[in-house]
Amino acid sequence: MIPICKHCQESKVNRPRGLCWSCYYTPGVKEMYPSTSKYARRGVGNFTGNAPVAPRPTTHAPGTPEKMAVLEERAKNKQALWHPFDAQYDGDPRPLRYLAREQRVNEQEMAMAG
């Protein structure tokens, strides 16, 4: 039995992902079907390039479910997973000092603009 294209259901499969030549090279179609390769990059955050730093550090301690949720959100947004001022232990004051300083700067900018 010759497999047919998952997308057009007409031509025989001759490209990865179970697609025919035309569907595989049609813009947007290839992305609709997951890779079947065991070497494919999978998961959230697998991209190439430099990731921007997250806009705010987290106060959650490493290993906590809250910190894991923050890391997951950063990966979904294609941001760097680690902020320079993330908490390194429970009760770390560094992220709070950073956020307070950021708030003072924003208030000063608002006062100067208004």
Residue pLDDT, tens place only, 64-108: 999 999 999 998 888 889 999 999 999 999 999 999 999 999 999
Structural domain includes residue 23 = yes
Structural domain includes residue 48 = no
Same domain for 69 and 31: no
The dihedral formed by the CA atoms of 19, 21, 24 and 26, expressed in degrees to the nearest 10: -130
Please count the helices (runs of H) and the strands (runs of E) in the chain.
Answer: 3, 0
Structural domain includes residue 28 = yes
The model's confidence at residue 113, banded by pLDDT at 50, 70 and 90, is confident
In whole angstroms, what is the distance from residue 60 CA to residue 91 CA? 8
Structural domain includes residue 46 = no
Structural domain includes residue 49 = no
pLDDT tens digits for range 30-75: 889 888 777 776 665 555 567 889 999 999 999 999 999 999 999 8
Whole-number pLDDT of residue 48: 57
Output Rg (C-alpha) for the chain, integer angstroms: 23
Number of domains in the chain: 2
Contacts of 97 (CB under 8 A, 6+ apart): 85
Whole-number pLDDT of residue 39: 76
This prediction's pTM: 0.55
Same domain for 32 and 69: no
Domain interval for residue 91: 65-113
In whole angstroms, what is the distance from residue 1 CA to residue 13 CA? 11
